[in-house]
Amino acid sequence: MRRLFSLILLMICTVPVWADTLGQLYMVAGWPDQRAHFTDAVTAAQQRYRNSLPPAVYQALVSNSNQRFQAQAMDRRAQAQLRTALPNPAPALAFFQSPLGRKVVAAELKATRKDELARNAQGLPKIQASDTRLLIIGHLAQALPAREAGAEVSLAIAGVAADSLSSMIPGLFGGGQAQGLLDGQRQRLMNQIGEDLNNTLLYVYRDLSDAELEEFATFAESADGKAYYQAALTAVRAGLAVGQDANQLN
């Protein structure tokens, strides 16, 4: 009887976790892994400033960026926003649980590993592709919010130093001036990413066959795919919180 009671208790405690479709989607789609890769990039950015800043300024930089990009807080903000913006996560979960979805996630995670980023620091190799594959990639480039998400990540990493400077010199920029600078930089980054986006996607998804790539593009262009990727972009922005006061972030 004691064993039966323990089994029932275990089932009761476990069901809510498995029943949380969005929580499963967050894991299966690679969000925690991508956040870990972003943390690696922030650490690398911190190291680049080590020998060029006075010790006190450098310590402020590390402290402020660690506070802003605290892993659990980033996950909490991103997942809460995804939950709000994606009322029905089941279709996206079904895709990312499929063999193709897992292959897509694996390709994306590989592309953002620190060793892969270091290998391609001077730029990605030019990928040759057939007209058919280029056409599919063009559709995918329009469907995925890669420009927007890439700009947010770049701004977040660039903001590592800006946070520290602002904390040491309060009022350095007025609110409106700072927002105007941020918006202008965001648009420039989106334009830069867009210039080579097709080649970037060809490189990231190079191990997908034409048929797999087309199936992926079909999902991304579908109503369910659009709903997921639009929600994902808002979740990326919530997690990174670019331009928000670090002291007010949870």
Query: Where is pLDDT greater, at 10 or 28?
Result: 28
Residue written as token pair 């965001």: 186
Statement: residue 187 has pLDDT above 50:
yes
Nearest to 42 by CA among 114, 122, 139: 114
Q: Does residue 11 sit within a domain?
A: no
Residue written as token pair 């040759």: 128
Tokens representing 35? Answer: 């956040």
Nearest to 132 by CA among 60, 42, 209, 63: 209
Statement: residue 8 has pLDDT above 90:
no
Q: Does residue 7 sit within a domain?
A: no
Q: Average pLDDT in the 197-217 region?
A: 97
pTM of the model: 0.85
Q: How confident is the model at residue 186 (pLDDT cuts 50, 70, 90)?
A: confident
Statement: residue 156 has pLDDT above 80:
yes
Question: For 53-62, 87-96, 116-125, which range has the lowest pLDDT when averaged over its residues?
Answer: 53-62
Q: Does residue 6 sit within a domain?
A: no
Average pLDDT, the chain: 85
Inter-residue contact 211 to 130 (CB < 8 Å):
no
Q: Average pLDDT in the 164-169 region?
A: 52
Q: Does residue 38 sit within a domain?
A: yes
Locate all alpha helices (DSSP H) within 112-174, ordered by sequence.
114-119, 131-143, 146-168
Q: Does residue 4 sit within a domain?
A: no
Q: Does residue 5 sit within a domain?
A: no
Per residue in 99-154, pLDDT (tens digit) is 999 999 999 999 999 999 999 989 999 999 999 999 999 999 999 999 999 999 99
Give the model's pLDDT for residue 11.
Answer: 38
Statement: residue 223 has pLDDT above 80:
yes
Nearest to 198 by CA among 128, 110, 120, 95: 128
Domains in the chain, number: 1
Q: Does residue 200 sit within a domain?
A: yes
Statement: residue 15 has pLDDT above 50:
no
Q: By residue range, what is the domain housing residue 36?
A: 24-245
Q: Does residue 13 sit within a domain?
A: no
Statement: residue 4 has pLDDT above 70:
no
Above pLDDT 70, what percent of the chain?
Answer: 81
